[in-house]
Structure 1
Amino acid sequence: MTTPLGVLGLDALAEDTYRGLVALPSATAPHLAELLGRGTAEIMHALETLAARGLAARSGGDRDRFVAAPPTVALGTLLGQRHDDLRRAELAVATLAEEHRRAVAGRAISDLIEVITGVDGVRHRFDQIQRSAREEVRAFVTSRPVAVPREENAAEDKLVAKGVRYRVVIERAALDEPGTAEAALASVAAGEEIRVVEKLPVKLIMADRELALVSLPATEPARSEHGEPGAVMLHASGLLEALIALFEGTWARARPLRPTDSAALAPDDARILSLMLAGLTDRSISVHLGMSMRTVQRRVHFLMELAGVQTRIQLGWYAAREGWG
């Protein structure tokens, strides 16, 4: 894991040494080594590294004693250099992206499609496409994911936290799988937008309007001779625009999945209502929440009485109007 000052080029030992030095008027390598529980030689090496970076200096005429440079001055200079580096990198990426767009415009269709086979290859491309998104990720999630299970998708939460919009349509059968409904509700609470449909035609993920990865069914010939999963990666093209249109049409008719947290409802009732509105059966809800099906049905009837309605459809309307779900 990168340390807080690692982005400025300091390793963990150098950062710890600088932090220790900042807290003292001055210090020798043996003194800091004792405070930090490290060897004197490695602390001395860290001090010399800090001195070379302008973060520390020897104290007066004592070559064995060091003082820390003021953080706002020394680290501010490093931050300015890093900002300049990032601006140059951004300019280079923008230039390359423009060259890539011009090149894509003249590509043959065979150059816009890449066939990937094997779990590792699909996972690698899936991760690449996600991390390339700057504004939005669109995805269809079907039941029984083969290559990239939800719990192994670490990039998703990080991108949502950075402000990348996630719109995901989940096949209802996928919510019947253990842990999926709870994970979906947690994702919504974290900022994702998730909707549910009865059936999806394909599993896919799209980054902005630039890239898409479409998983191939088990019967497709693009699977390897050993039966491993396959996928097709698409670059910006009319075909990708068609997939975006497919997603938007599916999104428009799908049912929103919302975490129900109304103060009027007990936590178990809120979870039951959320899963019921997502289209899960009473049996599936009972399995997900560890309740008997009779308990689920009793709580649904209680919610209907609380709302003053006669049917589950009316309960859904009431819940939407009152902000229950």
Structure 2
Amino acid sequence: MLEAIGLDDEHTAVYRVVLSTPSASVDEIATAVGLTKLRVRQIADQLEHLGLLAHQASAPDRVVASPPSLALRPMLLERERRLTLAHEALVQLSELYREGAAQREAADVVDMVFGADAVRQRFLQLQAAAVRKIDVFMLSDIAVLEPEENPEEARAIARGVRFRIVVETPLLERPGFVADVRASTPLGVGVRVLPTLPTRLLITDDELALLPMRSHGEERASGALLLHPSGLLDLVIASFEEFWARATEFGADDELPGDHDAVDRDLLKLLLLGLTDAAAGAQLGISLRTVQRRVSELIETAGVTTRIQLGAEAVRRGWV
């Protein structure tokens, strides 16, 4: 409740307890909120400093709450004033940036980002600033951040940013990949697959693009190029669109006839994308024997006799 003025859940809990009673002692508050007496005293002192609590005149060992309308309103108004000033500064700085960008020469449409840490920081910043969409080329090996080191991706998805991700086929063998795709598809994340990609790439809102100085090799994360609006950026965007159009969609809710379920649909896609029976089974959490049995059943359902014919029939019928 009080996060907007820089306080946490413990401060909120203490303030709520005191608000709900005429007065309260440290012992009573500690019992009510499940904190130690020492911690309650620390929080009470902080709330008193902010004007949210005061010691009772007739019983100094007890505290009373100040009316929220008197105690909180000035702080909230000050926060609003600072946010307004920050927004005005952002508008002014953005205008200066646009004016500078309009004067860029050919060499200025590309910024060079040096060092792995700087690349990671810019990678996170671009996702945090995205408003509409993020387009990504994802190679089979991680070069910038592990998924657990990239909280901005989940935050962008949560605020409605649309992701389009083209991945290399070997990524399909990464544990949990299919489950992750299934979970993210309803949230506006599209995933398509190609055997190989030329480089890593991140494009935000068709306004900025980040790609490594080196696509492969040990120094692939040591530096990156940040592309600003220009013909070069237009070329990179057009390249992404071409690869996206050529890639095989993964994650669509295709329907299979009869008793076949989502596992069969995923199995077909993984096999058509080049995974072995063993790799596909590991990705789906089923045994090699189960993979072979399911494939045999799919062949029978399709009315064909070979796996090649099954692949062609699955495409023709729209199963994948």
TM-score normalised by the shorter chain: which range applies?
A: 0.7 to 0.9
Unaligned runs of 5+ in 1: none
Count residues with an aligned counterpart.
312
Amino acid at match of 2:283: H
How big is the shift at 1:243? 0.9
User: Which ranges in structure 2 are unaligned for 5 or more consecutive residues?
Assistant: none
Alignment map for 1:7-22 (pairs within 5 Å) = 7-22=4-19
Which one of the candidate residues 235, 243, 250 is aligned to 1:250? Answer: 243
- Cα gap change, 1:82 to 1:273, in 2 (>3 Å): farther
- Mapped to 1, the partners of 2:118 and 2:61 lie a distance apart of 54
Determine whether 1:288 maps to 2:283: yes
| Distance (Å, rounded) in 2 between the aligned partners of 1:192 and 1:26 | 52
Partner of 2:96: 99
Q: Are residues 317 and 34 of structure 1, via their aligned partners in 2, closer, same or farther at CA, if it must alter by over 3 Å?
A: same
Q: Displacement, 1:9?
A: 1.7
Contact 1:169 1:196 in 2 (8 A): yes
TM-score (norm 2): 0.80
Post-superposition CA distance 1:158-199 (Å, at most 9, x none): 210121111111122322344444433433254311111222
In the alignment, which residue of structure 1 is the partner of 2:312?
313
Q: Is the 8 A contact 1:123 1:148 kept in 2?
A: yes
Whether the 8 Å contact between 2:29 and 2:40 is mirrored in structure 1 is yes
Q: Could you tell me whether the CA contact under 8 Å between 1:170 and 1:196 is conserved in 2?
A: yes
- Counterparts in 2 of 1:225-244, with a 5 A limit? 229-244=222-237
Q: Deviations over 1:31-74 (max 9, x none)?
A: 3245443235x534533443454534555754443333566786
Q: Deviation string for 1:74-114 (max 9, x for gaps)?
A: 65665555445434423322321221111112123333323
Tell me, in whole angstroms, the C-alpha distance in 2 between the residues paired with 1:149 and 1:114: 24
Q: Shift of the alpha carbon at 1:203?
A: 0.7
Contact 1:115 1:232 in 2 (8 A): yes
Runs of 4+ in 1 over 6 A off after TM superposition: none
Secondary structure class of the residue paired with 1:163 = coil
Offset at residue 209 of structure 1 (A) = 2.7
Cα 1:272–1:71 shift into 2, 3 Å: farther
Identical aligned pairs, as a percentage? 36
> Is 2:151 the counterpart of 1:157?
no
For the residues of structure 2 that align with 1:70 and 1:317, how far apart are their CA atoms?
A: 70
Paired amino acid for 1:315:
A
- Helix, strand or coil: the match of 1:126? helix
SS at structure 1 position matched to 2:145: coil
Q: Residues 253, 218 of structure 1: CA spacing in aligned structure 2 closer, same or farther, 3 A cutoff?
A: closer
Contact 1:259–1:274 (CA<8 Å) still a contact in 2?
A: no
Identify which of 292, 298, 310 aligns with 2:293: 298
In structure 1, what is the Cα distance between the partners aligned to 2:187 and 2:254? 14
**Contact residue 256 and residue 278 of structure 1 kept, 8 A:** no
Give the Cα–Cα distance (whole angstroms) in 2 for the partners of residues 135 and 173 of structure 1: 29
Equivalent residue runs for 1:253-272 within 5 Å: 253-258=246-251, 260=253, 265-272=260-267
Aligned to 1:120: 117
Residues 113 and 233, structure 1, Cα contact 8 Å, conserved in 2 = yes
What is the CA–CA distance in structure 2 between the aligned matches of 1:152 and 1:75, rounded to whole Å?
Answer: 36
- Contact 1:51/1:57 (<8 A) preserved: yes
CA contact (8 A) 1:260 1:271 kept: no
Q: Give 1:137 deviation, angstroms.
A: 0.9
**What's the TM-score once normalised by structure 1's chain length?**
0.79
| Amino acid paired to 1:211 | L
Q: Is the 8 A contact 2:2 2:11 kept in 1?
A: no
